Amino acid sequence: MAEQDDQAQALQAHRAYLLRYAQFQLRDAALAEDAVQDTLIAALAQPGRFEGRSQLRTWLTGILKHKIVDLGRSRSRGASAHAAGEGEDGDSALGAFNAQGKWVEAPADWGMPDAALESSQFWRVYQECCQRLSERDALVFSTREVMGLSSEEICKKFGISTTNLHVILFRARLSLRSCMSENWFKTNHE
């Protein structure tokens, strides 16, 4: 019993991080809470997996990723049922190109963008730009780029074709790029 308490306490130490992680991907406090809850329950069901602190976090995050995808996928499926035709699988390039396939507004020079990664203001803008994506595009993008699942895994989990995945990622990258350009790189900040 005491051992179980220790384990529960060890898990608790990672709760704040897991919650932020889930909330970032799911954009919904209650759903994030569910994902973390499911993760901690799954972890407690496998005693003997509690090692060093950093390993524990990595292991928990690995479980959480799958919970996020499962919960997020079923929610966005419900949401897109009535938003169907919004080009869910359509090949829209968001009006970024004209009929001849030329940029309506050519991407501006970002200079040396990596310096921005040190700025907390940059991350706020990044999160805001992610929130402009549709729920499903955001989740697919994040599953690929933030959580780092392979293209193959994502297609299987979301039940989409490779072509489909490429369309979604292209649309998300276009939108995020233009939003970051507008709200960060073209703006002056210290």
Number of residues that bind another protein (CB under 8 A): 42
Instruction: With CA atoms as reference, report the closest residue to 177 among 139, 138, 126.
Output: 126
DSSP secondary structure of 80-141: HHHSTTSSSSS---TT-B-TTS-BSSPPPP--SGGGGGG-HHHHHHHHHHHHTS-HHHHHHH
Place of tokens 């919004």: 86
Cβ proximity to another protein, 9 vs 103, nearer residue: 103
Note the residue count of the chain.
190
Residues 31-50 that bind another protein (CB under 8 A): none
Backbone angles phi, psi at 103, to 5 degrees: -55, 130
SS3 27: coil
Q: How far is the CB of 47 from another protein (least distance, A)?
A: 25
Given 12, 146, 156, 187, the residue binding another protein (CB under 8 A)? 146
Subset of 103-122 contacting another protein (CB under 8 A): 103, 106-110, 113-114, 116-117
Binding characters for another protein, 148-167, by CB under 8 A (x = yes): x--x----------x--xx-
Q: Which residues bind another protein (CB under 8 A)?
A: 16-17, 19-21, 24, 61, 93, 96-97, 100-103, 106-110, 113-114, 116-117, 123, 126, 141-142, 145-146, 148, 151, 162, 165-166, 169-170, 173-174, 176-177, 180-181
